[in-house]
Amino acid sequence: MIAAIAFYVLAAVSVFAALRVVLASNPVHSVLWLITAFFSAAGLFVLMGAEFLAMLLVVVYVGAVAVLFLFVVMMLDVDFVKLREGFTRYMPFGAVVACILLVEMILISAAVAARGAGAHAPGVQHATDVTNVEAIGRVLYTDYVYIFQAAGLVLLVAMIGAIVLTLRHRPHVKRQDIHTQVTRDRKKALAMTRPETGAGVRPEDLV
């Protein structure tokens, strides 16, 4: 009974929060709603008996990803007036598409449920003698080692991509080079100048 109530509350909150993520015009609010959605999804995982996944969701998605989003969004120069401009123009069309999708999904789900299709699907096997972490650990590096390694490669590509697209070696940037820094002496480091009053010294003139 309590589990059912908890499920419906969490499910309703996550659907509502997900809607607000899309509909909120302020991106900061969107991210905060996203965190709410993650939290309630984590609650749903707990109800299913997957405590480890719930914890991962909170630690990784809420703790790291969403906070990172928040930083990025706050650093963006967002023009809220401009954001709202397109909204009314595209909303009717978007609403029509969303309604069609929703109606289709309800129709099909109803048809499927009427024939009792879902009952035949083999559910998740509950191994009662092992903990969540153990159950995942048993298959992650054995049955799914191929996918695990391939996912690692996907991350490698993402890293290479980030470096290819953003790393620039600018000539005037001062990087740490311990050898040259330590072997510097007074002759190289000091320059005596006699600037005119009010003119100042530009660093380029000294080098």
Partner 1 sequence: MEFTNALSIATPELIVVIGAMVLLLVGAYGGDKARPAISLLSGLVLIGAAVASATGPLGQAFMGAFVNDSLAVFAKVAIYLASAVAILLGHGWMIRNNQARFEYPILILLAAAGMSMMASAGDLISLYVGIELQSLALYVLAAFNRDDAKGSEAGLKYFVLGALSSGLLLYGASLIYGFAGSMAFDDIAAAAAGAHGTSLIFGLVFLLCGLAFKISAAPFHMWTPDVYEGAPTPAVAFFAAAPKLAALVLIARTLGEGFHVIEDQWRQVILALAVLSFCVGAFGGLMQKNIQRLLAYSSIANMGYALLAIAAGTTVGVKAMLVFMVLYMVDVTGFFACLLALSRGGRPITQISDLAGLKQDRPGTAIVLTMLSLSVLGMPPFAGFWAKVYVFGAAIQGGLWIFAALGLAASVVAAFYYLRLIKLMWFDPSPGLTDPAPRDAQWVAYAAAAFSFPLVLFALGWLDGFAGTAARALGLG
The position carrying tokens 């620039």 is: 168
Map residues 171-190 to x or -, x wherever contact with partner 1 holds by CB under 8 A: --------------------
Q: Can you read off the two tokens belonging to residue 86?
A: 């397109």
Q: Which stretch binds partner 1 (CB under 8 A): 27-35, 70-78, 115-123, 188-196?
A: 115-123
* Cα–Cα distance measured from residue 93 to residue 159, given in angstroms and rounded to the nearest whole number: 38
Q: Which stretch binds partner 1 (CB under 8 A): 16-24, 46-54, 106-114, 180-188?
A: 106-114
CA quadruple 162, 164, 170, 174: dihedral sign: positive
Q: Is 110 in the site for partner 1 (CB under 8 A)?
A: no
Q: Is 126 in the site for partner 1 (CB under 8 A)?
A: no
Residue in 21, 22, 24, 48 with CA at minimum distance from that of residue 125: 48
Q: Is 98 in the site for partner 1 (CB under 8 A)?
A: no
The only residue of 131, 144, 184, 191 in contact with partner 1, by rule CB under 8 A? 144
For 112-144, letters b (16+ CB in 10 Å) and e give: eeeeeeeeeeeeeeeeeeeebeebbeeeeeeee
The only residue of 60, 145, 191, 201 in contact with partner 1, by rule CB under 8 A? 145
Measured from the CB atom, the residue of 23 and 111 that comes closer to partner 1 is 111
* Cα–Cα distance measured from residue 75 to residue 69, given in angstroms and rounded to the nearest whole number: 10
* Cα–Cα distance measured from residue 77 to residue 61, given in angstroms and rounded to the nearest whole number: 24
Q: Is 122 in the site for partner 1 (CB under 8 A)?
A: yes
Q: Is 206 in the site for partner 1 (CB under 8 A)?
A: no
Interface residues toward partner 1, by CB under 8 A: 105, 108, 111-112, 115-118, 120-123, 143-147, 150-151, 153-154, 156-158, 160-161, 163-166
